[in-house]
A and B are shown apart, each in its own frame.
Chain A
Amino acid sequence: MGCGRTGAAIAERLDREGHRVTVIDRDASRFGRLDGGFGGRLAAGNGMDMEALERAGVREADAFIAVTQGDNRNFFASQLAREVYGVARVICRVKDPQRGEIFGRLGIDTYSPTSAGADAMIAMLAGEAPA
């Protein structure tokens, strides 16, 4: 969910690895970010809308990854995927580390690019090999 730079990169890589991938974004023009060889499905729609998620095939999904620009939208859609549709693996990007920590305790796998970026740069500063 979310066809930004991160979403597109994840979708392309998983597609190349042979997974069945559907990308959902409320702005269909963002699908232009995907390279021409992308073989997955495109679903224009709001990932917080249950009907749009169902059209995108959430009921058959083994994993759901939410990477829109909005922390709360990502969390909301992740909770729908997990609580309503029982998706086994749900990963949610949360830029606000404090919010991410709380969401993590609620059983959602969260990734905070803010914390990860800060950690990596501090490690670089200390002369450690970049991750």
Chain B
Amino acid sequence: MYIIIAGGGKVGYSLARELQGGDNELLVIERDGERAAELGERLEGAALRGDACEASVLEGAGVRRADLVAAVTGDDEDNLVVCEIARHHGVARVLARVNDPRNALLFGKRGIETTVSATDAILAQIEQELPVVAVVPVMHLHEGLELVEVRLPETSPAVGRTPRELLLPPESLVALIVDSGGVPRIPAPDTTLTVGDALVVVTRAESRAMLGEALIGGAHGFDT
């Protein structure tokens, strides 16, 4: 599989390192010259300096034969543009990192798969054969609260229930449900959870294990 990653920051680099090797061919496009050179050294040359929002840069990167373009810069507008241009060039699968979770709505309307920024979650989405059984921390909020993402496996005790019926730890709230098609929804009282739903949950850092139990089930859930 030929994968182009737009954005060589922390997320782009760890994504590249995880995906490099095997049958994957990989290229990271990074705007900053110094950072691109550094990535080139660390990724066996698989880095290109350029602005992935420029059609000519993507064309130079061979976007037409790419199987997947993942736009993971820190700017949602740039990620949207990269995905739209890649799709224009016929790339079958485009994936965007969403830095502001509210923007998932627009990406969903444009039919672009999204993920809420954590590398593990992006990886899991790319390598769908590997089920994620993890509570993935996405963002630290204030005073011990954090935002985590959990994808519901087949064994999840939450499947078939509504968010209200879940036995969540104290001070936890399901903020967003992204279905397996990448469409985000604000949970409603009658929303039934299904396998493959990614739940974005506000919780306390110390409640991660309990949350894993409620959403993943068994003891495996804590194995982050």
Contact = CB atoms under 8 A, between A and B. Distances in A.
Interface in B89-113: 100, 102, 105-106, 109-110
B103 to A, nearest CB: 8
Contacts of B85: 99, 102
Interface size class of A (residues with CB under 8 A): 20 to 34
B77 A99 contact: no
B80 A99 contact: no
B135 to A, nearest CB: 28
A70 interface: yes
Contact of A80 (B53, B84, B106): B106
A72 B109 contact: no
B54 interface: yes
A69 interface: no
Contacts of B106: 76, 79-80, 83-84
Contacts of A80: 106
Contacts of A71: 53, 81
B55 A79 contact: no
A42 interface: no
B80 A105 contact: no
A48 interface: yes
B75 A72 contact: yes
A103 B87 CA distance: 12
B77 A73 contact: yes
Contacts of A102: 55, 84-85, 88
B80 A79 contact: yes
Chain A at the B interface: mostly helix, strand, loop or mixed?
Answer: helix
A64 interface: no
A67 to B, nearest CB: 15
B186 to A, nearest CB: 13
Contact of A70 (B77, B102, B109): B77
B105 A75 contact: no
B76 to A, nearest CB: 7
Nearest to B80: A76
Contact of A48 (B53, B56, B76, B105): B76
B102 A96 contact: no
Per CB-CB distance, the 7 closest pairs between chain A and chain B, nearest first, are A76-B77, A72-B77, A98-B55, A83-B109, A72-B81, A102-B88, A73-B77
7 contacts: A48-B77, A50-B102, A50-B105, A76-B76, A83-B106, A98-B55, A99-B53
Interface of A: 48-50, 70-73, 75-76, 79-80, 83-84, 96, 98-99, 102-103, 105-106
